[in-house]
Amino acid sequence: MWCTKLWLAAASLSYTLLEAAPVAEPCEHRQSLPEGWTKHQRVEPNAVHDVQIALTMGNLDKAEDCVMDVSDPDSLNYGKHWTAQQVQDFFRPTDETIDAVRQWIEETIARDIDHTLHKGHLRFMATTSELESLLETEYHYHHHDLVRRGVPATDIYHVPEHVRRHLDYITPGTVLPKVNKRSPSNEEPGEASIPPIQERDLLSARDIPCNVTGMSPQCIKKLYGIPDTPPKAVAGYEHAIYSTGNDPWDQLSLDTFFSTQTNIPKGTHPKSYNIAGAPEPEAEYRGYVEETNIDLDVTYPLLYPAEIVLLNEGPKEYQTNNAGYMNLMLDALDASYCTYTAYGETGDYPGLGGEVKNKDCGTINPPKVIASSWDATEDYIPLAYQRRQCNEFMKLTLQGVSFIYAVGDWGIANGGHTCYGPKGDMWGVPWPANCPYVTGVGGTQIKDGADPTDPDSSPEEALDGRNPQTLWQSSGGISAVYDRPSWQSTAVGGYLDNTKIDALVKSGEYGHYSTLGRGVPDISALGDHVYVRGNGHTLGTTGGTSAAVHVVASMISRINLERMYVGKGPVGFLNPTLYKYADKFIRDITDGRPNGNCDQPGFPVAKGWDPVTGLGVLKYKEALEFFLSLP
């Protein structure tokens, strides 16, 4: 309760710099180059760089308490979400931070510094030689076959000890742009990674049995107890799906699916927020099925006629081979984020220093549910960058937003069939679901011979990729980046205490996974043989957590609409309620194989929480009743 009031008392602190000579210490350190990148010649001494330094936020040590104050179902302040202005005032960088970093720069290289409107970062122009002097490092060009020009970057940089705690990240720095999204081994470089479509004859929903070979929208409703009646109508409510400028949808695909699987009228389509120059959706079928079409095929039958919107992040050149990192979306949801993030992707081409024209800052009122099929692993994303982005997720959850993200389809691998580390035996953890303020969604599949129309018979098991045509396998793990939040301490700790995890590789050496951090996923849903519109005019099945996440997100939006219809607010951050009252509305998944990959056995499925299916799957009717009982 104190946290709801404390934002009013947030005040700037004065700061006096130490007069002793500063001692530089390592800041960001990249241990190895990402796949496909090579290091080349030094950057010219007189080359000019747009340098941005991200400042640390104030009151971050109070963030979890503040979120719990409005998200713990037993809190007196449950559901009393903050305004954007309250959040901004409470977490802005302190005067101590601003003065410390500014004085260090001015005394070292004597440069004019631009202090942004929202006090998120400091910005200045500097030559390579000045930047190398400031950071005690060397800058080299880095090249990749799929990137047109060399990228200035360094392996490590240093800052004085008294400045280190005041900054999060510097660009240009150690980061190099990711060149592809999660990609199966048979995928051509640069193409979108879309779950393979298993084509079927064009059947109507009434002709499709509910079983392991295929699940129509009606089958999914029966599996989770979702009613056929439409959700409550609430003016202004929007359910959002994250998409990228390289991944449009087309109306023909939607109409084909609607006409065979639903009663949704042809011509129905999402409203598209085209962020920072993202292209308009295409009306004609392009010869293959995009991720966004799959997302919509799963979502519409569960939510129609509720308003579905796309947070369509662009422009196309920003998305390096579909590697959308969501920062332009966060810019559009929160104007302060445009100037808050230190990494150049907040309004800039990721890692390449090119300014994005016509960027959107605070132009979209944040939808109350934001779902995304896009993922990577935490070993790939620079620590300061992902932590800063996680801070923004935290700020938006305080305002009542539910971020519901897929965890990926490669088990413990970091994409394809490789683990990371010098020996290839370190287990990947999904990003951005590793952020404690995101709800991570894993995948399930129907057991052989099970009846999914009888959910009490426990027809689901962990998604394990048993079908060689799918390659799907629910990702999950325990973060080495984020501490374990209080709300899942008992669940994750209990799993580690009571479960034998075989971490041996073929060579007999031990693999590596964290035991201290945040565990993902949180919950799961069906991610196998889900019917969508296939190639051409056929019906097809697909899967992966890309499908599962939209089943969960749709159920949460339905619950929001029911609550708001009776005058209550959205549920906001889900995780504290999920873990505290899982026995009330979650069906545990205890069957299935471990999520092993890259010659590693992976995490076993277990009773209670596990890093494959999380807590289990939502029982919609019970979940609705419980959330309606909350204030």
At 197, is the pLDDT very low, low, confident or very high (cuts 50, 70, 90)? very low
Euclidean distance between CA atoms 289 and 395, whole angstroms: 34
Euclidean distance between CA atoms 249 and 256, whole angstroms: 13
The number of residues making up the chain comes to 631
Which residues are bridge partners to 313 per DSSP? Answer: 244, 275
For the stretch 583-612, what's the b/e string if a residue is b when 16 or more beta carbons lie within 10 angstroms of its beta carbon? eebbbbbbebbbbbbbebbbbbbbebbbbb
**Could you check whether the bond before residue 455 is cis, i.e. omega within 30 degrees of 0?**
no
Which residue from 609, 608, 614, 602 is spatially nearest to 502, judged by alpha carbons? Answer: 602
CB 621 within 8 A of CB 225: yes
pLDDT tens-digit readout, 202-252: 445 556 778 887 788 999 999 999 999 999 999 999 999 998 766 778 888
pLDDT value of residue 345: 43
Helices (H), 445-519: 489-498
Which residues are bridge partners to 169 per DSSP? Answer: 54
pLDDT tens-digit readout, 59-84: 888 999 999 999 999 999 999 999 99
Q: Which residue has the tokens 């998305």?
A: 319
Which residue from 547, 557, 617 is spatially nearest to 230, judged by alpha carbons? Answer: 557
| The pair of three-digit structure tokens given for residue 513, joined into one six-digit string | 């996974």
Euclidean distance between CA atoms 36 and 321, whole angstroms: 14
Number of C-beta neighbours around residue 125 at 10 A: 14
- The reply, when asked if residue 589 is annotated as ligand binding, is yes
Name the strand (E) or helix (H) holding 404: strand 402-406
CB 358 within 8 A of CB 276: yes
Cite the beta strand spans of 128-225 per DSSP E.
Answer: 140-143, 151-153, 156-160, 167-171, 198-200
Angle between helices 291-303 and 217-224 (to 10 degrees): 60
pLDDT value of residue 587: 97
**Start-to-end Cα distance in the chain:** 15
At 29, is the pLDDT very low, low, confident or very high (cuts 50, 70, 90)? low
Q: Average pLDDT of 86-93? A: 89
| The pair of three-digit structure tokens given for residue 81, joined into one six-digit string | 């979400």
CA distances 31 to 132, 155, 323, 422, Å, are 19, 7, 22, 10
Q: Which residues are within 8 A (CB) of 9 and not within 5 positions of it... i.e. 6 or more apart?
A: none
Euclidean distance between CA atoms 582 and 561, whole angstroms: 21
| The pair of three-digit structure tokens given for residue 258, joined into one six-digit string | 């609607």
Strands 238-244, 369-372: pairing is parallel
Left if phi > 0, otherwise alpha if psi is -120 to 50, otherwise beta: which for 421? left
Euclidean distance between CA atoms 480 and 487, whole angstroms: 18
Counting runs of H as helices and runs of E as strands, what totals does the chain give? 17, 26
Q: Average pLDDT of 325-347? A: 71
Angle between helices 217-224 and 545-565 (to 10 degrees): 60
pLDDT over threshold 80, residue 281: no
Q: Which one is predicted more confidently, 88 or 121?
A: 88
pLDDT tens-digit readout, 517-575: 999 999 999 988 787 775 555 677 778 888 999 999 999 999 999 999 999 999 999 99
Q: Average pLDDT of 307-321? A: 73
pLDDT over threshold 90, residue 301: yes
pLDDT value of residue 198: 47
Q: Which residues are catalytic?
A: 291, 295, 546
At 347, is the pLDDT very low, low, confident or very high (cuts 50, 70, 90)? very low
User: Sign of the C-alpha dihedral, residues 582, 544, 590, 558?
Assistant: positive
- The reply, when asked if residue 588 is annotated as ligand binding, is yes
CB 205 within 8 A of CB 262: yes
- The reply, when asked if residue 412 is annotated as ligand binding, is no
Which residues are bridge partners to 309 per DSSP? Answer: 240, 271
Share of residues in the chain with pLDDT > 90 (%): 43
At 28, is the pLDDT very low, low, confident or very high (cuts 50, 70, 90)? low
The dihedrals phi and psi of 493, each to the nearest 5 degrees, come to -60, -40
| The pair of three-digit structure tokens given for residue 286, joined into one six-digit string | 């392009």
For the ranges 151-160, 286-295, 537-546, 615-624, the lowest mean pLDDT is seen at: 286-295
Which residues are bridge partners to 308 per DSSP? Answer: 239
Distance of CA 571 to the CA centre of its chain: 19
pLDDT tens-digit readout, 149-176: 888 999 999 999 899 888 877 888 887 7
Name the strand (E) or helix (H) holding 308: strand 307-313
pLDDT over threshold 60, residue 34: yes
Q: Please, what are the domains in the chain?
A: 23-57+93-176 (no CATH), 203-629 (3.40.50.200)
pLDDT tens-digit readout, 435-450: 999 999 999 999 988 9
**Burial degree of 184 (CB within 10 A; 0-12, 13-18, 19+):** middle
- The reply, when asked if residue 197 is annotated as ligand binding, is no
Q: Which one is predicted more confidently, 572 or 106?
A: 572
Which residue from 372, 279, 392, 403 is spatially nearest to 330, judged by alpha carbons? Answer: 392
pLDDT tens-digit readout, 420-473: 777 777 788 888 999 999 999 999 999 988 998 898 899 999 998 655 555 678
Q: Which residues are within 8 A (CB) of 384 and not within 5 positions of it... i.e. 6 or more apart?
A: 28, 54, 168, 169, 342, 343
